[in-house]
Structure 1
C-alpha cells in the first residue's frame, strides 16, 4: 500500500508533464498557425488523446485549442489587413483558414466588424505607432466580447 502523499506527488508530477506538453502545443500553434492544424494532430504530437488535450488546454489557458488557433489567425489577419496590400480573400488563405465563411464569422466575433470593414477603417490607422503599441491597440477580443459595429453609410 502506498502512502497518501505519494499519490499526490505522482499527480503533481503528471500535471507538470501535462503543462509542459500544453506549452509545446501552444508554441506549435503560435509557430504554425497558417498550417492546416487540427486538435487530433496537435494531440498526437503531444502524446495525448484529443479529448484530454482539449480539456487540459481549456483548464490551463481558458479556451480550447481550436479557439486559440483561430485567435492567433485573426491577430495575424488584422496585421495583414492594416498593411492594405492584400485583399480579404488573400488574407483569409494566408493565415490558414480554409473557407472565407469561417474566417469572416470568426473575424467578426473577435474584432466586432467584418474583415472588409476592418480593412477600410484600419488601413493606415496604426501608421507611426511602434509595433508593440499597434498590436496592443488592435488585438482581437476573445470569447465573443467584441461589440458589433454597424457600418455607417455616408
Structure 2
C-alpha cells in the first residue's frame, strides 16, 4: 500500500482522507482479483493460504477483508462456487455423482456429499433425479434460480 499523506494541524497529525480511500480502492481491486481467481480456478486445489500468497497478504487479513467485502469467507465462497457448478453438472445428467465430485475440485466423495447437502438441502443423488430440467430454460436464469443458499440464509419453512 502507498504511504499515507500526513497533514499537521494544531500539534496533531491527520491522515489525508483521499489517500485512505485510494488504499481502500487498491485493496478492493486485490480482493476482486482473489474472487475472480476462485471463480476461474474453483476446480483446482485452492486454499486460503495460496490465495493470500497470490494477493501478498496474510491469510488472516485476507479472510477478514474478504468477508467484510463480500459477506462470506474465501473458503465459503469457494465451496459455494464448487457446489453451484456441481448442481449444473448434475442437472445436465451425463456424469455420475462421483465424476461430478472430482470434476468440481473435491478429493473426497464424502466431503462433497456433506457440503452439497449442507448448501442445497438434499444429497447430490437426490438432487440429480429431482432436478432434471432438460433444455428450454436459459442457463443464466437457471443459475440464478438454483444458486445454493446456506442454511443460515434459508427462510424457515412454513411448518416450523
CA contact (8 A) 2:92 2:134 kept: no
1:16-31 maps to which residues of 2 (within 5 A)? 16-31=25-40
Structure 1-normalised TM-score?
A: 0.87
CA contact (8 A) 1:35 1:96 kept: yes
Give unmatched runs, 5+ long, in structure 2.
8-13
1:140 to 142, 148, 153: 148
CA contact (8 A) 1:109 1:144 kept: no
How far off is 1:145 after superposition? Answer: 3.6
CA contact (8 A) 1:76 1:95 kept: yes
User: CA-atom RMSD, angstroms?
Assistant: 2.1
The alignment of Structure 1 onto Structure 2 pairs a total of residues equal to: 147
Give unmatched runs, 5+ long, in structure 1.
149-154
Task: Give runs of ≥4 in structure 1 deviating > 3 Å.
Answer: 142-148
Does residue 77 of structure 1 match 2:82? no
CA contact (8 A) 2:101 2:108 kept: yes
Paired residue for 2:11?
A: none
Paired residue for 1:34?
A: 43
How far off is 1:142 after superposition? Answer: 3.2
Structure 2-normalised TM-score?
A: 0.84
Can you list the C-alpha shifts for 1:118-141, whole angstroms capped at 9, x where unaligned?
Answer: 001112x25311112211222111
Higher relative contact order (CA 8 A, sep 6+): 1
1:108-119 maps to which residues of 2 (within 5 A)? 108-119=117-128
CA contact (8 A) 1:112 1:147 kept: no
Point out the structure with the larger helix share. 1
CA contact (8 A) 1:33 1:95 kept: yes
How far off is 1:147 after superposition? Answer: 7.6
2:6 to 2, 8, 15: 2
CA contact (8 A) 2:42 2:82 kept: yes
Q: Computing the radius of gyration over CA atoms, which structure comes out larger, 1 or 2? A: 2
Does residue 50 of structure 1 match 2:54? no
